[in-house]
Amino acid sequence: MEYLWKPDLEDGTFQNPIIFADYSDPDVIRVGDTYYMTASSFNYVPGLPILTSKDLVNWKLVNYAIDKIDYEKYDMPQHSKGVWAPAIRYHNERFYIYYGMPDEGIFMVSAEDPLGKWEKPVLVLEGKGLIDSCPFWDDDGKAYVIHGYAKSRIGFKSYLGIFPMSEDGTKAIGEDHILYNGVETQPTIEGPKVYKRNDYYYILAPAGGVKPGWQTALRSKNIYGPYEEKIVLKQGNTIVNGPHQGGLVDTVNGDEWFLHFQDRGLYGRIVHMQPVVWENDWPVMGQNAKDGCGEPCLVCKKPNTGISEAPSSLEASDDFEEPGLNLMWQWLGNPKDNFCSLTANPGFLRLYALNPSGEKEPVLWNCSNVLTQKLVCPYFKASVCLRIDGLQENEQAGMVMMGGHYAYLAVRMINGEKTLVQAEAYDAEDGSVKEKTNVLKLAGNAEKIIFSFAMEEGKDGPIFKMFFTLGEEEVAVQTDFMPSDHTWVGAKIGLFATALKENAGNGGYADFEYIHVTSLAEGN
Q: Of the candidates 90, 110, 107, 99, which has an alpha carbon nearest to the alpha carbon of residue 40?
A: 99
Helix (H, G, I), strand (E, B) or coil at 364: helix
Is the Cβ–Cβ distance between 315 and 21 less than 8 Å?
no
Distances (CA, A) of 450 to 382, 390, 398, 476, 516: 10, 16, 9, 12, 11
What is the signed CA dihedral for 304, 308, 312, 314, rounded to 10 degrees? -50
Per annotation, catalytic residue among 132, 190, 263, 435 = 190
- CB environment 301-340: b (16+ within 10 A), e (fewer): ebbebeeebeebbbebbbebeeeebbbbbbbbbbbeeebb
Query: CA–CA separation, 148 vs 156, rounded Å?
Result: 10
Query: CA–CA separation, 383 vs 465, rounded Å?
Result: 12
Residue 171: Cβ within 10 Å count: 12
Per annotation, catalytic residue among 8, 22, 25, 318 = 25
Query: CA–CA separation, 224 vs 1, rounded Å?
Result: 52
Asked about 25 being catalytic, the answer comes back as yes
Query: CA–CA separation, 124 vs 171, rounded Å?
Result: 4
Distances (CA, A) of 417 to 391, 421, 512: 10, 12, 20
Is the Cβ–Cβ distance between 320 and 349 less than 8 Å?
yes
Q: How far apart are the first and last CA of the chain?
A: 10
* Continuous segment of H or E residues that includes residue 103: none
Query: CA–CA separation, 45 vs 29, rounded Å?
Result: 23
Distances (CA, A) of 423 to 201, 352, 438: 53, 20, 6
Segments in 135-245 forming alpha helices (H):
151-154
Active-site residues: which are they?
25, 190
